[in-house]
Amino acid sequence: MNYFRTAILLAGLTALFMGVGFLIGGQSGALIALVVAAAMNLFSYWNSDRMVLSMHGAQEVDQSTAPELVGMVYELANRAELPMPRVFIMDNPQPNAFATGRNPQNAAVAVTTGLMQQMNREELAGVIAHELAHIKNHDTLIMTITATIAGAISMLAQFGMFFGNRGNNNSGGMGIVGTLAMVILAPIAAMLVQMAISRTREYAADNLGARIAGRPEWLASALARLEAGAHAIPNDNAERNPATAHMFIVNPLSGERMDNLFSTHPATENRIAALQQLAHDMNQGGFGGYEAQPAPRAVAHGTPQHGPWGGGGRRRSGPWG
């Protein structure tokens, strides 16, 4: 059902994009809009991961520079039957994470130093499993296309201020009122569709991520801690690049708590409730797919490593911050 809803929303976003092009230039405008969208999506397909990682100052790490983190990603990727993604760390005190890449073979997982410092091993595993679920579901590509089309709609709507009132044989012109309505309403409509797609994919990633990790309560606990951290600690890079906010596991921009049309993410309490229900289903024998698993050890390609967590489970200090 989530995939069907996403497909419908993407179709609506594309139709809105074509409609704005038609209002500006009639059939020719719609055709030009289609060509522009195709070019933008092609560019985003090949370059979006590098652009987003660069925006947030992410630095790639490997088993020699961050063996505990890379080992955990490796083990969870094996559980998810995914290729090993590249691993990045962002020097940012806000606990958060995102995944990017056009497909599982060209994927990356990025986590903040704040996440590494504030999560215990089980919570960190839940977060990484969530991001791997986005990769497995091809959400990273979906969200890139969504953001690109939404941005193009806003751009075309601005063009309407200059060309929308001229009219032609195909559209007959919109007039001043129609032009202003398009400039204001089209970007809002695009934003609403973009956010609806984002929220749909977050619920799906929570569910699959819990299945990959084998313990829904790990991710539920992490979400509660992430929500508190996002409220208390600003993310300057995200504030400068708000179009990427929907990619993070929790909203890095504000303390928005309402699960409404203007939220980039579902309400955290709703996500936690869904994970608690999944945990209940697992205990009742109604859980399919991945079996419950112990927390991944700090390993790097099968080689045990001494992790940075103490006996109480809480991380004592971070080697990256």
227 catalytic residue (yes or no): no
CA 241 remoteness from chain centre: 14
Quickly list H helices, 56-138: 67-79, 113-118, 121-136
Q: Is residue 17 within 8 Å of 38, Cβ to Cβ?
A: no
DSSP, res 191: H
Token pair belonging to 231:
């409220």
Query: Residues with Cβ < 8 Å from 64, sequence gap 6 or more?
Result: none
DSSP, res 10: H
How is 23-43 classified by DSSP, letter by letter? HHHHHHHHHHHHHHHHHHHHH
**In 3-state terms, what secondary structure has residue 222?**
helix
Which amino acid belongs to residue 135?
Answer: I
Sole residue written with tokens 């977060």: 127
Token pair belonging to 33:
């809009």
**In 3-state terms, what secondary structure has residue 58?**
strand
Query: In angstroms, how far apart are the furthest CA atoms of the chain?
Result: 75
Token pair belonging to 112:
């903040």
Handedness of CA 174, 10, 14, 256 (dihedral sign): positive
Residue 65 φ/ψ, nearest 5 degrees: -100, -25
Sole residue written with tokens 């009639």: 26
Distance CA 119, CA 233 (A): 15
Of 68, 122, 131, 217, catalytic: 131
Q: Looking at the annotation, which residues are catalytic? A: 131
